[in-house]
């Protein structure tokens, strides 16, 4: 092969290779364009589907009740004297008597907590000396013993019988909170279904759920020394209303027209 033939062959090879590169580039570009077309088609289908769907938003609440299984009784002693030290000492003696009375009832020490404590100059006009008060908060898990606790406190010298708060233990409280939330959601489902039936549309599911405060409401009863049973009488009975809980939700449902 002479020089002219070699150059011609080389030129043909280069041209063929270049054509191959161009051809491959065109093939890749075509695939990319087809992918873009498919994506646009899917997006358009999704937009059309969303355009044919609507939403119903419902706000609802749920209320439930449970019998209390815990009570916190607030009782204490008061004192007055010429000096702050004298008042402090009298309060300490009184509270010690209360603690002993609760221990005699078998109430665990951890269930008898400090309440309010204060010692200050006498506040009434022209009064002299000091006065003070010291209270304890006694937790009982048998609410039927509340009257017994009040009687024992007064017998031990309590002259500051405040209140009893009927509430729930942690496990019962958590269960009641969930029950309140379930009740709110069930109400929302019922109301959304009613709206959908009224509008002749079919619900397709939930899109968003927002919960509000879930509140448990203890029952409080004011007490006084008049609540105590007389000597020889059966223990005082103090009845309580059920403890309530409430929850609120806002739910959005999708529907197809």
Is residue 125 classed as helix, strand or coil in its secondary structure? coil
* CATH 3.30.930.10 fits domain 70-168+219-227: no
For the chain, what are the domain ranges? Answer: 3-51, 54-66+172-218+243-256, 70-168+219-227
Q: Give domain 54-66+172-218+243-256's CATH number out of 3.40.50.2020, 3.90.79.10, 3.30.110.170, 3.30.980.20.
A: 3.30.110.170
Q: Give the pairing of strands 215-217 and 160-167.
A: unpaired
Please tell me the pTM assigned to this model: 0.71
pLDDT, residue 34, reads 60
Render pLDDT for 241-250 as a digit per residue (tens, 0 to 9): 999 999 999 9
Q: Residues with Cβ < 8 Å from 51, sequence gap 6 or more?
A: none
Whole-number Å distance between alpha carbons of 102 and 240: 22
pLDDT, residue 28, reads 56
Task: List residues bridging with 206 in a β-sheet.
Answer: 253
pLDDT, residue 216, reads 96
Give the relative orientation of helices 146-155 and 84-104 as an angle to the nearest 10 degrees: 140
Residue 210: CB atoms within 10 Å? 11
pLDDT, residue 31, reads 60
- Ranges of residues in the chain with a pLDDT under 50 are 1-23, 25-26
Whole-number Å distance between alpha carbons of 55 and 250: 13
pLDDT, residue 127, reads 81
Whole-number Å distance between alpha carbons of 79 and 92: 10
- 41, 135 in Cβ contact below 8 A? no
pLDDT, residue 36, reads 60
Q: Which two tokens stand for residue 72?
A: 């916190």
Whole-number Å distance between alpha carbons of 93 and 98: 9
Is residue 240 classed as helix, strand or coil in its secondary structure? coil
pLDDT, residue 167, reads 97
Q: Which two tokens stand for residue 176?
A: 């009641």
- Residue 226, φ and ψ in degrees, nearest 5: -70, -20
Q: Is the dihedral of CA 189, 194, 199, 204 positive or negative?
A: positive
Render pLDDT for 193-233 as a digit per residue (tens, 0 to 9): 999 999 999 999 999 999 999 999 999 998 765 655 555 55
pLDDT, residue 48, reads 54
């Amino acid at each position: 092969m002479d020089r002219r033939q070699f150059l011609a062959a080389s030129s043909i090879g280069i041209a063929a290779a270049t054509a191959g590169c161009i051809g491959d580039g065109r093939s890749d570009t075509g695939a990319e364009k087809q992918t873009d077309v498919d994506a646009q088609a899917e997006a358009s289908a999704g937009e059309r589907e969303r355009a044919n769907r609507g939403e119903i938003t419902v706000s609802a609440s749920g209320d439930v009740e449970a019998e209390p299984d815990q009570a916190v009784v607030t009782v204490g002693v008061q004192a007055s004297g010429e000096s702050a030290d004298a008042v402090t000492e009298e309060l300490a003696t009184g509270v010690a008597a209360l603690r002993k009375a609760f221990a005699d009832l078998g109430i665990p020490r951890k269930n008898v907590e400090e309440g309010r404590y204060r010692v200050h100059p006498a506040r009434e006009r022209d009064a002299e000396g000091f006065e003070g008060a010291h209270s304890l908060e006694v937790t009982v898990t048998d609410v039927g013993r509340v009257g017994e606790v009040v009687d024992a406190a007064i017998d031990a010298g309590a002259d500051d019988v405040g209140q009893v708060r009927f509430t729930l233990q942690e496990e019962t409280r958590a269960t009641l909170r969930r029950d309140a939330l379930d009740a709110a959601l069930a109400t929302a489902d019922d109301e959304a279904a009613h709206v959908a039936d009224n509008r002749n549309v079919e619900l397709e599911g939930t899109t968003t759920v927002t919960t509000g405060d879930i509140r448990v409401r203890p029952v409080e009863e004011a007490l006084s020394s008049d609540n105590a049973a007389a000597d020889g009488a059966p223990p005082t009975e103090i009845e309580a209303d059920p403890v309530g809980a409430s929850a609120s939700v806002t739910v959005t449902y999708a529907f197809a027209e």
